[in-house]
Amino acid sequence: MEGNQLINKLNSLFSWVTKLAYVNGLWMLFSLVGFIVVGFFPATVAMMTICRKWLNGESEIPIFKTFVKTYKSALISSNLLGWILAGVGVLLYINFLVLQANTGQINVVTISAYYLFLFFFLITVSHALPVFVYYRVSFFSCIRNAFIMGLLNVHLSIAIIISQSAFFYLMFSYPSTAVFFLGSILSVIQMWLALLSFKRIDKKALKNKSVEAIV
């Protein structure tokens, strides 16, 4: 009996490892199909959509069919969202270089304003793609909701940023492993923490509705 349980657990583990590697492979393939510039963000959205379904208990979904369908439907909207955020990130990095080069000439207020905006940007980015995947709202609604949810659950936003950064560093310390699991495991981590954030917001909304009903 114990031997059968161990075999079942090992089979389950192998199955999930295979699924993660498969989705990661699709992510890289479809990113290349779009020459990275056009393919990266819809492929990432498709991968995160599958990870969301897994986390919601849908473990037997048709992976390839779901991936391709999501990739096609998100082709334009995900690129709009992704490249605007990437553009803002590049501008922030350029401003950081300018601040570094002129440290003694820039006042404290300007520096503080920069880091405050950077903080708001990071918590928005931490929730932006999960919000897009989960709610499929317009660009402005996605940014607004990502900012609000990221701010209301700032501890989860920070957890996303730290865990993503740590795992990214770990994977690139072992490049052969990154080829098979980098994107898929990063997506699972981000979606799992973001779903916790969404559930907290939903609970607060239900609680407020209950209080209003009583009043």
Give the model's pLDDT for residue 172.
82
Q: Which tokens sit at 41? A: 């963000």
- The pair of three-digit structure tokens given for residue 149, joined into one six-digit string: 């949810």
If one compares 2 and 47, the residue with the highest pLDDT of the two is 47
Q: Residue written as tokens 């096609």? A: 72
Q: 3-state DSSP call for residue 7?
A: helix
- pLDDT tens-digit profile of 134-193? 998 999 999 999 999 999 999 999 999 999 999 988 988 888 888 999 999 999 999 999
**Average of pLDDT values for 53-82?**
96
How many other CB atoms are found less than 10 A from the CB of residue 176?
A: 7
CA distance 26 to 40: 11
Residue 163 vs residues 96, 182, 211: alpha-carbon distances, Å: 23, 13, 36
Given this model, what pLDDT does residue 39 score?
Answer: 97
Domain of residue 182: give its range: 2-214
pLDDT tens per residue across span 69-101: 999 999 999 999 999 999 999 999 999 999 999
Measured distance CA(22)–CA(76) in Å, rounded: 24
Contact 160, 130 (CB under 8 A): no
What ranges in 34-153 are assigned the alpha helix state H? 40-55, 63-73, 75-101, 108-135, 139-152
> How many separate domains does the chain show?
1
Rounded to a whole number, what is the distance in angstroms from the first to the last CA of the chain?
Answer: 57
- Residue 192's pLDDT is 97
